Amino acid sequence: MSTKRKLRHRDYGDGGLRERAPGTWELVLRTIDSDGRRTRKFYTFKGSAVDARQKLAELQRQAKVGQLPDERMLFGTILDRWEKTLDVSPKTKERYLELVRLYIRPHLGALKVRTITASRLEQFYGDLRDGRGPQNADASKLSPRTIGHIHRLVVQGLGLAERDKAIEASPARHAKRPKIEKTEIEILTEDQVRSVLTKLSGRSVYLLALIGLATGMRRGELLALRWKNVDLAAGSVKVEQSLEQTKAGLRFKAPKTRYGRRTITLPSSATTELRKHRAKQAEQRLALGLGKPADDALVFQRPDGEPLVPNSVTTEWRRLVTTLKLPKVSLHAWRHTHASQLIASGMDVLTISRRLGHGSPSITLDVYSHLFKPTDSAAAAVFESAFGQHLAERNDEPNRSKVET
């Protein structure tokens, strides 16, 4: 009776390797821990003998500089590091951390980062879509769009793990996530716009809605607008800031891109309403003993001059939608409606993009592509205008030759 002899590791200095199965190698690294004790770390590698030897050499180099990957490192530890490197606005950070806390940590945080595969990520996204998950996770079904946001955060976390050599390559590159289907954007018709402005007349939201519909400015941009950035003589406003609301409070911030800082021409009717508003605002301040408004005073403000709270403005709009029986659309529909009117007028996409403050015309096309009417017939007319006469004359030459003969 024969016994199968266990193959010993082939030694290479402070490490060794042996083939456990065809193409599967066990690598061992002999090191000294922080307490001065000799330890051995084992790694599994799949590939050729040459590749296994190169991997062992790489591990040896990492051990010498103190960058040896930890086979037991949890994805939660990677997320801790990732959170410390976040360099985004407070509002965005707040949302990122909420998604990590509610979904990513409960599902993936306790897993060893080296055990996370593309298939495991796809299972994770499926669980989110179907409302399945650990007891401490939010069990609500998530939309493909929200899962897409979560996927991007997982990509960042695993990217950090790859950068720090905790894993060889991020499995997120190969994971498929639920397809995001475009939803119809909310747009008010011309008749609905007239109805909305008529019903809002005399209410505090009226001018806010009018300027939003007339300029396409975002909610935060409207609430951060100051009188020093309003040129009533020229009929224009400059977008310089946006008002953001987080759990920590309100803050003014600069636009994300250089195109977010822009000058927007006003319709004359909107300029007229702004003149009336400024005069009324000055009267109210004088009545309250607050004095004349400063040049940097906010256009839309509370009686004491403090900024309006963004979420409160949205809540008030929703209340008015119900009480005044307005079209059931979000406040952001003001911006979409303005964009749709520009597109319907035949304005070029670059001008529209600049007016809306998009970082690139491609963003405008991505959001509003379905509103642009096909112009293929116009393209044919351009060619006909340039070359049609020339081709007609060439086609007529044989006929003239027959007549001459």
Locate 163 and state its tokens. 């950068």
Residue tagged 């939201």 (tokens): 205
Locate 142 and state its tokens. 């998530």
Q: Is residue 354 pLDDT above 60, yes or no?
A: yes
Cβ of 318: how many Cβ atoms within 10 Å? 14
Q: Give CA–CA dist 290/254, Å, rounded.
A: 28
Q: Give CA–CA dist 358/281, Å, rounded.
A: 32
Q: Is residue 1 pLDDT above 50, yes or no?
A: no
pLDDT of residue 393: 67
Percent of the chain whose predicted confidence (pLDDT) is above 90: 56
Contact (Cβ atoms closer than 8 angstroms) between residue 355 and residue 342:
yes
Helix (H/G/I), strand (E/B), else coil: 112: strand
Where are the extended beta strands (E) located within 15-158? 15-21, 24-32, 38-46
pLDDT of residue 293: 77
Helical spans, DSSP H, in 25-86: 49-64, 75-85
Residues 6+ apart with CB under 8 A from 382: none
- HSE at residue 393, side-chain half, CA atoms within 13 A, is 4
Q: Is residue 188 pLDDT above 70, yes or no?
A: yes
**Phi (first) and psi of residue 171, to 5 degrees:** -70, -15
Long-range contacts of 275-280 (CB under 8 A, 24+ apart): 275/232, 277/207, 278/227, 278/232
Delineate the domains of the chain, giving CATH numbers in brackets: 10-64 (no CATH), 75-174 (1.10.150), 190-365 (1.10.443.10), 374-405 (no CATH)
Percent of the chain whose predicted confidence (pLDDT) is above 70: 87
pLDDT of residue 264: 97
Q: What b/e string do you get for 135-166 counting C-beta neighbours within 10 Å, with b at 16 or more? A: eebeeeebeeebbeebbebbebbbbbbbeeeb
pLDDT tens string 232-284? 999 999 999 999 999 999 999 999 889 999 999 999 999 999 999 999 988 88
**Phi (first) and psi of residue 399, to 5 degrees:** -65, -40
DSSP H or E stretch at residue 110: none
pLDDT tens string 126-183? 999 998 877 666 667 898 989 999 999 999 999 999 888 788 789 998 898 878 777 7
Q: Give CA–CA dist 213/292, Å, rounded.
A: 29
Query: What distances in angstroms separate CA 96 from CA 140, 149, 151, 215, 255, one per listed residue?
Result: 18, 9, 11, 30, 20
Which whole number is the average pLDDT over 194-222?
Answer: 96
